[in-house]
Amino acid sequence: MKNKLIVLLACLMAVSGISFFSITSFAQEDIAQLKQQIEVLQKRVDELESKEQQEPVHVDPFLKRGQGAWDPFYEIERMQEEMNRMFQNSYNRGGGLGRGMFSNDMSYDHDFDIKENADGYEIRFDMKGLDKEKVDIQINEHSITVKGESSRQETEESENKYFSTQSFGSFMKTIPLPVDADTTKLKTEKEGESLVIKLPKKAS
Protein backbone atom coordinates (compact mmCIF):
# COMPACT_ATOMS: atom_id res chain seq x y z
CA MET A 1 0.00 0.00 0.00
CA LYS A 2 2.82 2.39 0.92
CA ASN A 3 4.62 1.70 -2.36
CA LYS A 4 1.47 2.36 -4.37
CA LEU A 5 0.96 5.71 -2.63
CA ILE A 6 4.54 6.68 -3.37
CA VAL A 7 4.11 5.78 -7.05
CA LEU A 8 0.84 7.71 -7.28
CA LEU A 9 2.40 10.71 -5.59
CA ALA A 10 5.35 10.61 -7.97
CA CYS A 11 3.01 10.46 -10.99
CA LEU A 12 0.99 13.42 -9.79
CA MET A 13 4.11 15.42 -9.08
CA ALA A 14 5.53 14.61 -12.51
CA VAL A 15 2.33 15.68 -14.26
CA SER A 16 2.19 18.86 -12.23
CA GLY A 17 5.86 19.65 -12.82
CA ILE A 18 6.71 19.20 -9.16
CA SER A 19 10.08 17.92 -7.96
CA PHE A 20 10.82 16.25 -4.65
CA PHE A 21 13.22 19.04 -3.87
CA SER A 22 10.59 21.79 -4.16
CA ILE A 23 7.70 20.08 -2.36
CA THR A 24 8.52 21.79 0.92
CA SER A 25 7.77 25.17 -0.66
CA PHE A 26 4.13 24.32 -1.35
CA ALA A 27 1.34 25.98 0.52
CA GLN A 28 -0.64 23.82 2.91
CA GLU A 29 -3.70 23.91 0.63
CA ASP A 30 -1.64 22.51 -2.28
CA ILE A 31 -0.46 19.58 -0.15
CA ALA A 32 -4.00 18.91 1.06
CA GLN A 33 -5.22 18.91 -2.53
CA LEU A 34 -2.54 16.41 -3.53
CA LYS A 35 -3.49 14.11 -0.65
CA GLN A 36 -7.12 14.27 -1.72
CA GLN A 37 -6.26 13.34 -5.30
CA ILE A 38 -4.10 10.45 -4.06
CA GLU A 39 -6.98 9.11 -1.97
CA VAL A 40 -9.31 9.21 -4.98
CA LEU A 41 -6.77 7.41 -7.16
CA GLN A 42 -6.09 4.84 -4.43
CA LYS A 43 -9.80 4.02 -4.18
CA ARG A 44 -9.92 3.57 -7.96
CA VAL A 45 -6.92 1.23 -7.87
CA ASP A 46 -8.51 -0.86 -5.11
CA GLU A 47 -11.76 -1.11 -7.09
CA LEU A 48 -9.94 -2.28 -10.21
CA GLU A 49 -7.91 -4.88 -8.28
CA SER A 50 -11.03 -6.20 -6.56
CA LYS A 51 -12.86 -6.43 -9.87
CA GLU A 52 -9.93 -8.24 -11.51
CA GLN A 53 -9.83 -10.85 -8.72
CA GLN A 54 -13.56 -11.52 -8.93
CA GLU A 55 -13.77 -11.90 -12.70
CA PRO A 56 -13.05 -15.46 -13.94
CA VAL A 57 -10.31 -15.98 -16.51
CA HIS A 58 -11.65 -17.31 -19.82
CA VAL A 59 -9.33 -19.35 -22.02
CA ASP A 60 -10.14 -19.94 -25.66
CA PRO A 61 -9.70 -23.72 -26.26
CA PHE A 62 -9.27 -23.09 -29.98
CA LEU A 63 -6.42 -20.63 -29.54
CA LYS A 64 -3.23 -22.15 -30.95
CA ARG A 65 -0.11 -22.38 -28.84
CA GLY A 66 2.14 -19.38 -29.33
CA GLN A 67 -0.73 -17.05 -30.31
CA GLY A 68 -2.30 -14.38 -28.18
CA ALA A 69 -0.93 -14.09 -24.64
CA TRP A 70 2.64 -15.18 -23.94
CA ASP A 71 2.79 -18.89 -23.16
CA PRO A 72 5.94 -19.97 -21.25
CA PHE A 73 5.29 -23.67 -21.95
CA TYR A 74 5.13 -22.99 -25.68
CA GLU A 75 8.45 -21.16 -25.46
CA ILE A 76 10.05 -24.15 -23.71
CA GLU A 77 8.80 -26.53 -26.40
CA ARG A 78 10.04 -24.20 -29.13
CA MET A 79 13.52 -24.06 -27.56
CA GLN A 80 13.63 -27.86 -27.31
CA GLU A 81 12.70 -28.20 -30.99
CA GLU A 82 15.43 -25.71 -31.90
CA MET A 83 18.01 -27.68 -29.88
CA ASN A 84 17.02 -30.89 -31.68
CA ARG A 85 17.32 -29.18 -35.06
CA MET A 86 20.77 -27.80 -34.20
CA PHE A 87 21.87 -31.23 -32.99
CA GLN A 88 20.76 -32.88 -36.23
CA ASN A 89 22.43 -30.23 -38.40
CA SER A 90 25.70 -30.45 -36.49
CA TYR A 91 26.39 -34.09 -37.32
CA ASN A 92 24.54 -34.40 -40.65
CA ARG A 93 26.93 -31.96 -42.33
CA GLY A 94 29.82 -33.24 -44.34
CA GLY A 95 32.90 -33.75 -42.24
CA GLY A 96 31.24 -35.23 -39.19
CA LEU A 97 30.06 -33.84 -35.90
CA GLY A 98 33.47 -32.54 -34.92
CA ARG A 99 33.26 -29.81 -37.59
CA GLY A 100 29.83 -28.57 -36.60
CA MET A 101 29.00 -25.06 -35.49
CA PHE A 102 29.78 -25.89 -31.85
CA SER A 103 33.31 -27.12 -32.47
CA ASN A 104 36.22 -25.26 -30.92
CA ASP A 105 39.60 -26.67 -31.89
CA MET A 106 42.95 -25.67 -30.46
CA SER A 107 46.16 -26.96 -32.06
CA TYR A 108 44.94 -30.46 -32.93
CA ASP A 109 41.85 -31.79 -34.66
CA HIS A 110 40.05 -34.91 -33.50
CA ASP A 111 36.98 -36.46 -35.05
CA PHE A 112 33.71 -37.44 -33.44
CA ASP A 113 31.36 -40.11 -34.64
CA ILE A 114 27.85 -40.30 -33.23
CA LYS A 115 25.23 -42.99 -33.67
CA GLU A 116 21.66 -43.26 -32.47
CA ASN A 117 20.00 -46.54 -31.63
CA ALA A 118 16.73 -47.58 -30.05
CA ASP A 119 18.09 -47.24 -26.52
CA GLY A 120 20.22 -44.11 -26.74
CA TYR A 121 23.25 -42.44 -28.31
CA GLU A 122 26.88 -43.46 -28.71
CA ILE A 123 29.59 -40.86 -29.27
CA ARG A 124 33.00 -42.12 -30.38
CA PHE A 125 35.93 -39.76 -29.99
CA ASP A 126 39.39 -40.28 -31.54
CA MET A 127 42.00 -39.72 -28.81
CA LYS A 128 45.06 -40.43 -30.92
CA GLY A 129 47.87 -38.11 -29.83
CA LEU A 130 46.15 -37.10 -26.60
CA ASP A 131 47.35 -37.82 -23.10
CA LYS A 132 44.79 -40.41 -21.97
CA GLU A 133 45.20 -39.37 -18.33
CA LYS A 134 44.41 -35.71 -19.09
CA VAL A 135 41.09 -36.09 -20.90
CA ASP A 136 38.29 -34.27 -19.10
CA ILE A 137 34.56 -34.64 -19.78
CA GLN A 138 32.16 -31.90 -18.71
CA ILE A 139 28.44 -32.38 -19.20
CA ASN A 140 25.29 -30.41 -18.62
CA GLU A 141 21.68 -30.94 -19.60
CA HIS A 142 22.03 -29.93 -23.24
CA SER A 143 25.68 -30.42 -24.22
CA ILE A 144 28.86 -32.32 -23.52
CA THR A 145 32.39 -30.90 -23.65
CA VAL A 146 35.56 -32.96 -24.06
CA LYS A 147 38.91 -31.38 -23.19
CA GLY A 148 42.36 -32.86 -23.57
CA GLU A 149 46.08 -32.16 -23.77
CA SER A 150 48.47 -33.57 -26.31
CA SER A 151 52.19 -33.73 -26.82
CA ARG A 152 54.23 -34.67 -29.85
CA GLN A 153 57.93 -35.47 -29.88
CA GLU A 154 60.09 -35.70 -32.97
CA THR A 155 63.68 -36.94 -32.97
CA GLU A 156 66.23 -36.70 -35.75
CA GLU A 157 69.58 -38.41 -35.37
CA SER A 158 72.56 -38.68 -37.73
CA GLU A 159 76.33 -39.18 -37.51
CA ASN A 160 77.07 -35.57 -36.65
CA LYS A 161 73.97 -34.37 -34.83
CA TYR A 162 71.06 -35.30 -32.62
CA PHE A 163 67.93 -33.16 -32.78
CA SER A 164 64.81 -33.59 -30.66
CA THR A 165 61.71 -31.39 -30.48
CA GLN A 166 58.57 -31.67 -28.40
CA SER A 167 55.36 -29.76 -28.98
CA PHE A 168 52.34 -29.40 -26.72
CA GLY A 169 48.75 -28.52 -27.47
CA SER A 170 45.27 -28.54 -26.03
CA PHE A 171 41.94 -29.59 -27.41
CA MET A 172 38.30 -28.79 -26.64
CA LYS A 173 35.03 -29.57 -28.37
CA THR A 174 31.44 -29.05 -27.30
CA ILE A 175 28.67 -31.24 -28.70
CA PRO A 176 24.97 -30.31 -28.46
CA LEU A 177 22.83 -33.15 -27.15
CA PRO A 178 19.22 -34.02 -28.02
CA VAL A 179 16.68 -33.25 -25.32
CA ASP A 180 15.85 -36.92 -24.78
CA ALA A 181 19.45 -37.87 -23.88
CA ASP A 182 19.71 -38.85 -20.21
CA THR A 183 22.95 -37.19 -19.09
CA THR A 184 22.58 -38.53 -15.54
CA LYS A 185 23.36 -42.06 -16.77
CA LEU A 186 26.40 -41.29 -18.94
CA LYS A 187 28.97 -44.06 -19.32
CA THR A 188 32.46 -43.93 -20.85
CA GLU A 189 34.66 -46.67 -22.24
CA LYS A 190 38.10 -46.78 -23.86
CA GLU A 191 38.43 -48.85 -27.01
CA GLY A 192 41.95 -48.68 -28.40
CA GLU A 193 42.62 -45.07 -29.40
CA SER A 194 38.95 -44.12 -29.03
CA LEU A 195 36.86 -42.82 -26.15
CA VAL A 196 33.27 -44.08 -26.31
CA ILE A 197 30.55 -42.07 -24.55
CA LYS A 198 27.16 -43.74 -24.13
CA LEU A 199 23.98 -41.87 -23.26
CA PRO A 200 20.66 -43.69 -22.82
CA LYS A 201 17.40 -42.06 -23.80
CA LYS A 202 15.10 -40.69 -21.13
CA ALA A 203 12.12 -42.82 -20.23
CA SER A 204 9.07 -41.48 -22.01
* CATH number, domain with residue 83: 2.60.40.790
| Same domain as 112, residue 193 | yes
- Tell me: the pLDDT tens digits for 146-179? 887 776 667 777 777 766 766 667 778 888 888 8
Co-location of 167 and 76 in the same domain: yes
Per-residue pLDDT, 36: 74
Same domain, 121 and 170: yes
Rounded to whole angstroms, the Cα distance separating 177 from 199 reads 10
H-state helical runs in 57-120 = 72-92
Print the domain residue range for 39.
Answer: 2-54
- pLDDT category, 74, cuts 50, 70, 90? low
pTM of the entire structure? 0.40
Cα within 13 Å of Cα(42), Cβ side: 15
The pLDDT assigned to 47 comes to: 75
- H/E stretch holding 35 reads helix 28-54
56/104 Cα distance (integer angstroms): 53
The per-residue pLDDT for range 13-72, each reduced to its tens digit, is 554 444 444 444 445 666 677 677 777 777 777 776 676 555 554 444 444 444 555 565
pLDDT of residue 18: 47
Percent of the chain beyond pLDDT 70? 44
Residues 87 and 166 in one domain: yes
Is residue 62 domain-resident? no
Most confident residue range from 27-41, 53-67, 88-102, 180-194: 180-194
Number of domains within the chain: 2
Q: Is residue 63 domain-resident?
A: no
170 and 111 belong to one structural domain: yes
Does any domain span residue 65?
no
